Each structure stands twice: as structure tokens, then as C-alpha cells.
Amino acid sequence: MNQSAIARSWVEHANGHSDFPLQNLPLGIFSRGSDERRCGVAIGDAILDLDAVLAAGLFDGQARNAVQATRGGALNAYFALGREARVALRERLLELLGADSPHQAALKPALYPAAECQLHLPARIGDYTDFYVGIEHAKNVGKLFRPDNPLLPNYKYVPIGYHGRASTIRPSGTDVRRPNGQTLPAGQTEPSFGPCARLDYELELGIWIGQGNAMGDAIPVAQAGEHVAGYCLLNDWSARDIQAWEYQPLGPFLSKSFISTVSPWVVTAEALEPFRCAQPARPEGDPQPLAYLLDPRDQAGGAFDIELEVLLLTERMREQNLPAHRLTLSNTLSMYWTVAQMVAHHSVNGCQLQPGDLFGSGTLSGAKPGQFGSLLEITEGGKVPIELASGEVRRFLEDGDEIILRARCKRDGVASIGFGECRGKILPAH
């Protein structure tokens, strides 16, 4: 199949290099001016208002049920419906937005320029769990503390994760207030209090949970995919100096809970299907996963080939009209555990997952320079500064710096899709 065989939309912008061609169709929650929040689908540089399309009578059956569940300003009820409803809606949207659609005239009034809309969180987040499945990140960080033995003994058996703070997850574009906190300055034995001096980003894949489980019932790994509603980008902003002082013995807390940022569009499993691939073979000598984490279909096609990118734009770079500096070019293939394994592990003790819960993958770094997903790794804990075209250097983030995460899926003969941006700019501490 060549590019010309790829289905096109009558929304012309979707046929270019947009993150949102006809093959993507991610849902999100948006508003215009002071209008109520409602559900839209991203298509090229526009947003199709599903409420308006519903009112125009262009949905029926399962697709209509799905759209009705998207109402009310959050997608939780829609996430709870599961795969069948999601696929029905996708198929109808492919008809409505495809180049041959007979409904163009009826749909145009429901199509708004994305630039005129405000994007919100797609769901009310019940619980947020941050995993640590990026093995190269775990190695890079482990090396800073244990050069000879970077990975702890449990890493290759346990999809390590911890509970994060749900109340401070915000959509792309929300400013990031530099946190205050306790830190232990080098060489001191007593802590100081003040603004974080080692503010960092973390590049992660976000996973939105769909159908939940009852407390006490584990989700088998073979069924875990049915419990995932979609994917986004996640910046797990981190205050490294606060983290170093607070995190023993119970893990990161205030060093992470000041804000986490997500990209607002929920990219579906169906859109990502062409970019599925086998889980990379475990290196010689690595143990097999325990049985509750092992499913042949998941091993054969449970990983993703998604290119991930992080850009930095400083105040001075904006003033000088310089292009953003690429900090990271990485890939989801660095995940040591699949999303299905994360779901199965999380629920194996009977923990209840609910529609609208969010998982973070953990930082997705590659093994080589240029692929590291945090400044902690890039600058070796602040020792090796980055030089920017503006003449500035960075060890950690400064006030006014903006971090932009992007993701892109590419495969020959298939429409390339993206995730939209996940941005945040640092404001000075209070």
C-alpha cells in the first residue's frame, strides 16, 4: 500500500502532516469561550463537536450510545463502556469525516478551529499510578547511586509502580509554579527551605483506564487490553532536590505532587493498532515474567513503536525567535513491561481500577545520549550542562523555560499519527 491508498478526510488539513488525520480520531473535552465543556474529536487543525453532531441526528445505535456517554464534561462514563462502543463510534466517525461523506454540509457548523478552543482534562481522575517501566531510565538513575549495580533485584520481576497525586494533574498549557520545599544542601546535615533548585521534566506515556474491576477481582493479563480506554503524553514534573531529601523510606511525595501535565487528546487502541509490535526480546539471562504477567498475544503484539520527543524553549529563545531545542528523542520500545502487564500487576492483589484512572509509564529514556527522558540523566545530576543556541546553559529548568512533549507514530504505507502537544512553562516560586 502506498500513501495514495490511505483514506482521506474532507477536512483538508487532516490530510497533511497533522497529528490528527482521519486514522487517529482522538476524543477530548473542550470549550469555546464561556460555553459548557463538551466532547470533541480532533481532525486536522479542527475540533468536531460531538454534542452538535448528536443534536443533528447523525449518530444511531451503539455510536449514539457512545456519544451520549461522552456528555457532561468528562469521558468517564464513555470510558466505562469499553471497546465495542468505542469501535462503533470510530467507525461512524470514519464515515462522517471521510472524503466521501455525504454529511459535509451538516457537519461544517459543528467544526471549530482548534486554535479557538480551550482543551480540558478528558476525565475526572480517580487514582493516578506512576510506573517505572522505562528500563533505561531506571538504569541511568540507578547508576547515579549504584554505579556497579544500577537495577534493584526486583526490577525484572515486578512492574514497579507507586501511587501519585490525582488532584494536581492538569492539561497541556497549564503553567507550572516552581515548588517550595525542604532540601538538604550538599555538605550540610540540616535541611533548608526554599524554592526547588533542581526542577526537571519526565517524559512518559499516559494510559487512561476504561472498564474497571470489582475490588478483590484481578484482571488477567490476557484481558487487560479491554480495560484501557486510550493513551496520552504525560510530563511528570520532578523537584530533584526535594525528592532526594524526602523519598526515604516511602517514595516520592511533594517532589512530584505540585503538578503533572497530560496531553488532552485520548488516542485510542484502534488508532495505535498499526504501531503495535512484539515486546522486545528480554536480554540473555533476564528471567521470564511470572505466569500472571505472561500472555502469548501480549508478548507477540503488546508493545508500541511510538517516537517520543521533548523540546525546550527558554525565555531568551522565544525573544530571539530561535527554534526549540530538542532534549530527547526516545521511543516506547524502551518499556520493559507492556501496558497489559501493568494492568494485570496493578489489579493482581484485588486493587480496584476505575474508568478515568490514569497510569504513567515512568520515564521513557533510550540507552544512548540524546535519548534520555529527563535532565537528571542528560546532565548527570547537574554535572554536565547543556549548551543552547541562545548562548544559555541549563543544568535544570529555569523560570520561563517551557517544556514541550510530542509523540509520533510512523510506518510505511500507513497514515502517521501524533498525540498533540503536552506543554508547560515554569513560573517563579511564590
> Is residue 301 within the footprint of a copy of itself (CB under 8 A)?
no
Indicate the residue type of 352: Q
Stretch that binds a copy of itself, among 64-72, 186-194, 325-333, 377-385 (CB under 8 A): 186-194
H/E/C letters for each residue in 37-57?
Answer: CEEEEEECCEEEEHHHHHHCC
Between 132 and 265, whose beta carbon lies closer to a copy of itself? 132
For the purposes of burial, counting CB atoms within 10 Å of the CB of 351, is it exposed (0-12), middle (13-18) or buried (19 or more)?
middle
**In whole angstroms, what is the distance from residue 395 CA to residue 196 CA?**
13
Q: Which candidate, 422, 423, 419, 421, places its Cα nearest to that of 20?
A: 419
**What one-character DSSP code corresponds to residue 254?**
T
Between 6 and 151, whose beta carbon lies closer to a copy of itself? 151
Site map (CB under 8 A) of a copy of itself, residues 339-378, x = contact: ------xx-xxxxxxx--x---------------------
Stretch that binds a copy of itself, among 257-265, 276-284, 295-303, 366-374 (CB under 8 A): 257-265
**List 105, 291, 321, 412, residue binding a copy of itself (CB under 8 A):** 291
Q: In angstroms, give the least distance from the CB of 108 to a copy of itself.
A: 38
Contact criterion met (CB below 8 Å) for 131 and 342: yes
Region 118-137 residues binding a copy of itself, contact defined as CB under 8 A:
126-127, 130, 132
Contact criterion met (CB below 8 Å) for 219 and 213: yes
> Is residue 188 within the footprint of a copy of itself (CB under 8 A)?
no
CA distances to 7, 8, 272, 410, 414 from 2, in Å: 11, 13, 19, 13, 8
Region 203-242 residues binding a copy of itself, contact defined as CB under 8 A:
215-218, 239, 242
**List 21, 26, 44, 164, residue binding a copy of itself (CB under 8 A):** 164
Q: Total binding residues for a copy of itself by CB under 8 A?
A: 64
**In whole angstroms, what is the distance from residue 220 CA to residue 250 CA?**
28
CA distances to 68, 99, 110, 357 from 229, in Å: 16, 27, 25, 10
**Is residue 430 flagged as an active site residue?**
no
**List 55, 144, 152, 367, residue binding a copy of itself (CB under 8 A):** 152
Residue 64 backbone zone (phi > 0: left; psi -120 to 50: alpha; other: beta): alpha
**List 16, 102, 147, 153, residue binding a copy of itself (CB under 8 A):** 153
Task: Considering the candidates 137, 227, 345, 346, report the single residue annotated as catalytic.
Answer: 137
**List 13, 32, 71, 177, residue binding a copy of itself (CB under 8 A):** 177
Binding site for a copy of itself (CB under 8 A): 126-127, 130, 132, 152-154, 157-158, 160-168, 170, 177, 179-182, 184, 189-191, 193, 215-218, 239, 242, 245-255, 257-259, 287, 290-292, 345-346, 348-354, 357, 430
Active site residues: 137
